Structure 1
Amino acid sequence: MKRMISTLLCFTLLLGTTGCSNAQGAESDSKEYANALFDDSYVHTIDIQIDEDSWADLLENPTEKTKYKSTVVIDGNTVENVSFATKGNSSLSQVADSESNRYSFKLNFGKFVEGQTYVGLDKLNLQNICSDATYMKDYLAYEIMKECGVASPLTSYVSLSINGEVYGLYLALEDISDSFLERTYGVDYGELYKPETEMLGNMGQHGKKNMELPQVMEKPDGMERPENAQAPAPTNGEKTDMPKGAGQRPEGGMGMGGTAKGADLVYTDDEISSYSDIFDNAETDATDEDKARLIASLKQLSTGENLEKCVDVDAVVRYFVAHNFVLNGDSYTGSMLHNYWLYEDDGILSMLPWDYNLAFGGFQMKGSNDATSIVNTAIDTPLYEQNLGKRPMWDKVMAKEENIQLYHDYFNTLIADYFESGKFENTINRVSTMIRPYVESDPTAWYTVEEFDTAVDTITKFCLLRAQSIRTQLDGSLASTTAEQKTEDMIDAGSIDISAMGSQGKGRGNDDKRNPEEGKATTDKTKK
């Protein structure tokens, strides 16, 4: 149900004082937190002051996600009675089963004090930057999203302390909830969902710490890239069907995400129960009327006609430009059917980005760690699932020639304005220089500073080569579909080791090649 936020008595911290705010004031505060905590020109400080018994219980039962009361000090400003908890699903279980206690955390400023915020921010995620030796995958992915004009969460770096003891360098990430929605869409915003297949939604729940998660996925038979394969030439100026290429799953398969009940955005019928992946993961208070409206939008999407009645086409195209640049297989375009938000407003759907720590080739199928193949991933056939109709937000939108052209136009702008202009290199040099001292002294780091240096160099080369490949795909020197690509036309990325940027399940506490005594400090599970 769309809502107008009413005037509420709320507790808002500003320069160490508290006060009241109405809807207009909350909007002002939202802008304030964007310029305060999310000023990414320096590393912020956050100290979590939590009762020792509560902290010990959190470390003993991390997958329970218990909400503990804490006092939080952000850049010297104190907020009391803040909810503090672990966060994540499979990533939470991964840390719980490792030698580390470097969890990701969530702060909810209004959980125990209704209406309380931090200068307008209601919830904050503290990302542990696992599987990311660059410390920048999430940060850069959201920067690229913003460069493409995609509504994205704000980020900054923080030096996190627990009870005054430095815990590590974390990424502060704006939660996709009320304050984000108001900042992005105004007070009269729509409905928000985080589609998640049932199996993934249950990972890390109820203390099931011993769930065995795949580190890499076996490649189905017939998945090798065809050598010099050619697709039929278009006739009469019409666009041919997108070819089935690398990453195809067996017919009807739903991948590691389990059987989809809406997370693929496929229309099945008009029953609300058929879309539990969506509606069981509603962020806003959706009514049955809201749910029926979303189902009607999926039904319209399934026809591929009059898409402007059900999809914000421009927003979706921009999303896929950024998303398909950074290559995140742990997503809607990959095999896992999660890690995106679905926004609906008056029957119009769009997608919002989430969770990119395994982007830039970090989530690859076994046997697919060839950097040249990854860098040259075809922009017009990006799906792991190539059965038409199985990912309608891509298939139906991009079946229209004018949308593919818009997609290419936005890609051209991204490559020219962000990569070829030098802006990307300036950004990565600035950020890596800023955070390197914190990486070097990080007591709970997943990676050494030497690995960080190598990873930064690697992701810089990767992105520049990816941009170069996309430029050749746009100008026709390299085909933009998998089946048409020829090996000899590809940009050579053979000098890059994708795993140097970090990959699933790798890092201190998870890699048996590491010295088990390194970097334990405050994370050693024997020191609670």
Structure 2
Amino acid sequence: MAYVIPSYSLAIKKEDLEELRNDVWNDDPVPGYLTVENKIYDVDIAYRGSYTREFRKKSYWLDFIEPEEFNGSREIHLNAGFKDPSLIRNKLSLDFFQDIRVLSPESQHINLTLNGSVEGVYLQLESVDDLFLQKRGLPEGPIYYAINNYANFSFMRNKKVKKEILSGYEQKVGNWTDDFYLQELITKINTTPINEFPEIIERYIHIENYLRWLSGAVCTMNNDGFTHNYALYRNSQTGLFEILPWDYDATWGRKVNGGVMEHDYVPIEGKLDNHLSFLLLQIPEYRKRYRSILEEILETRFTVDYLEEKIVFLHQALRPHILHDPYKKKSIHSFDDEPDFILQFIKARRSYLINQLKNLEN
């Protein structure tokens, strides 16, 4: 089946574009228009991301004003993937999480022009919000984004007490009363005796979901994804928090700067500055379940045989468009080398994790 890469056209008045470019750290949006398939949408536009805002190829956040929705979304994110020479890592990761049964946003590559100038290939990311839940028939519930590495499920960060218990979290959906649920979760994580931990934590966290998410983060090796780059959703029917991946550019053997990350850089337990992961893996029954999940994934999903067709398919679909991307076309040889690079990473990472499974024995 063909992977259709649609064209999006952004139009921003000169004075508004100057305002946007004048301060890349300003989150206040400017007005503009998005045209897709001859339909015009009135939108608000702002830059998105953290360190990526200083790159030449910017990422954008679009909020739809009139009409209020676009393909069932109130807002979308256009990710430049500037430091990913393949431009497929984020999508490959999010699709991988879906394959291992972890709730995950949809993603779609697009071609973008801004005021008639070609900006190149972007990845459109679905926002994790109330409409995200509605599309999947999920109960309402608050949603939080982990916006920096203070979102480590701990009272501490770098051996210092955090000023606020919810440092690192930004509420996307909900109201101020919902903060109490997250505060209670973090408090229970940090104050419950280890012998009582399983009984208590299962009242707050969907354990199977969490261990599958941890498995996905460990396989794809998102180094900062254990205390950052995730979302939390509290299912109002079960009362349990579920965790979702978000922003997975720096994966499959590449660092945030595009450099090589060796296949054994992240241990099989993940980065244990995530206090919840650390505590869960102290519990024999959870270590056993985590090992079982990992073994299943390593056998069926995190393999060259399973992923090669997906990688080659995305690469071949994007290649003609990369040749017109002003930021990527000069490095087309690097782009062409990436499928082999990713497949070699999968082979090496899989072998490493299989060898390390013994560390999860009780």
Q: TM-score by structure 1 length?
A: 0.60
Asked if 1:120 corresponds to 2:84, the answer is no
1:231 corresponds in structure 2 to none
Post-superposition offset of 1:278? 5.1
Corresponding residue to 1:378 among 267, 274, 286: 267
Secondary structure of the residue that 2:322 maps to in structure 1?
Answer: helix
Post-superposition offset of 1:104? 0.1
Asked if 1:460 corresponds to 2:343, the answer is yes
Q: Is the 8 A contact 1:149 1:318 kept in 2?
A: yes
Corresponding residue to 2:109 among 140, 157, 166: 157
Structure 2 distance, partners of 1:372, 1:87, is: 29
Structure 2 distance, partners of 1:364, 1:357, is: 7
Secondary structure of the residue that 1:106 maps to in structure 2?
Answer: strand
Q: Is the 8 A contact 2:263 2:348 kept in 1?
A: no
| Distance of aligned partners of 1:81 and 1:117 in 2 relative to their CA distance in 1, 3 Å threshold | same
| Distance of aligned partners of 1:323 and 1:164 in 2 relative to their CA distance in 1, 3 Å threshold | same
| Distance of aligned partners of 1:184 and 1:403 in 2 relative to their CA distance in 1, 3 Å threshold | farther
Post-superposition offset of 1:40? 8.0
Asked if 1:84 corresponds to 2:35, the answer is no
1:140 corresponds in structure 2 to 92
Q: How does 1:184-223 map to 2 (within 5 A)?
A: 184=136, 186=138, 188-197=139-148
Asked if 1:64 corresponds to 2:19, the answer is no
Structure 1 distance, partners of 2:292, 2:330, is: 38
Post-superposition offset of 1:369? 6.1
Asked if 1:318 corresponds to 2:212, the answer is yes
Secondary structure of the residue that 1:343 maps to in structure 2?
Answer: strand
Corresponding residue to 1:285 among 169, 174, 177: 174
Structure 1: unaligned runs, 5 residues or longer = 1-38, 198-256, 386-390, 482-528
Q: Counting strand residues as a fraction of each chain, which structure ranks higher?
A: 2
Q: Is the 8 A contact 2:108 2:125 kept in 1?
A: yes
| Distance of aligned partners of 1:370 and 1:350 in 2 relative to their CA distance in 1, 3 Å threshold | closer
Secondary structure of the residue that 1:444 maps to in structure 2?
Answer: coil
Q: How does 1:212-291 map to 2 (within 5 A)?
A: 257=149, 260=150, 263-266=151-154, 274-277=164-167, 281-288=170-177, 290-291=178-179
Post-superposition offset of 1:179? 1.8
Structure 2: unaligned runs, 5 residues or longer = 157-161
Q: Is the 8 A contact 1:134 1:452 kept in 2?
A: yes
2:126 corresponds in structure 1 to 174
Post-superposition offset of 1:338? 2.1
Corresponding residue to 2:250 among 347, 358, 379: 358
Percent of matched pairs sharing the same residue:
20
Structure 2 distance, partners of 1:471, 1:316, is: 20
| Distance of aligned partners of 1:52 and 1:364 in 2 relative to their CA distance in 1, 3 Å threshold | closer
Structure 2 distance, partners of 1:83, 1:139, is: 25
2:313 corresponds in structure 1 to 430
Structure 1 distance, partners of 2:198, 2:275, is: 12
Post-superposition offset of 1:147? 1.2
Structure 2 distance, partners of 1:321, 1:419, is: 10
Q: Please say which structure displays the higher CA radius of gyration.
A: 1
Post-superposition offset of 1:384? 5.4
Q: Is the 8 A contact 2:5 2:111 kept in 1?
A: yes
| Distance of aligned partners of 1:121 and 1:196 in 2 relative to their CA distance in 1, 3 Å threshold | closer
Structure 1 distance, partners of 2:21, 2:329, is: 18
Q: Is the 8 A contact 2:230 2:244 kept in 1?
A: yes
Post-superposition offset of 1:410? 1.9
Structure 1 distance, partners of 2:252, 2:246, is: 14
Q: Is the 8 A contact 1:49 1:72 kept in 2?
A: yes
Post-superposition offset of 1:140? 1.3
Structure 1 distance, partners of 2:2, 2:276, is: 32
Q: Is the 8 A contact 2:94 2:105 kept in 1?
A: yes
Q: Is the 8 A contact 2:83 2:256 kept in 1?
A: no
Structure 2 distance, partners of 1:424, 1:296, is: 40
1:343-377 Cα offsets, whole Å, 9 max, x none, are 22344222211121122343389xx9673543xx4
Secondary structure of the residue that 1:146 maps to in structure 2?
Answer: helix
Corresponding residue to 1:130 among 68, 71, 82: 82
| Distance of aligned partners of 1:311 and 1:343 in 2 relative to their CA distance in 1, 3 Å threshold | same
After superposition, the CA RMSD in angstroms is: 2.8
Secondary structure of the residue that 1:107 maps to in structure 2?
Answer: strand
Structure 1 distance, partners of 2:313, 2:143, is: 34
Higher relative contact order (CA 8 A, sep 6+): 1
Structure 1 distance, partners of 2:261, 2:164, is: 39
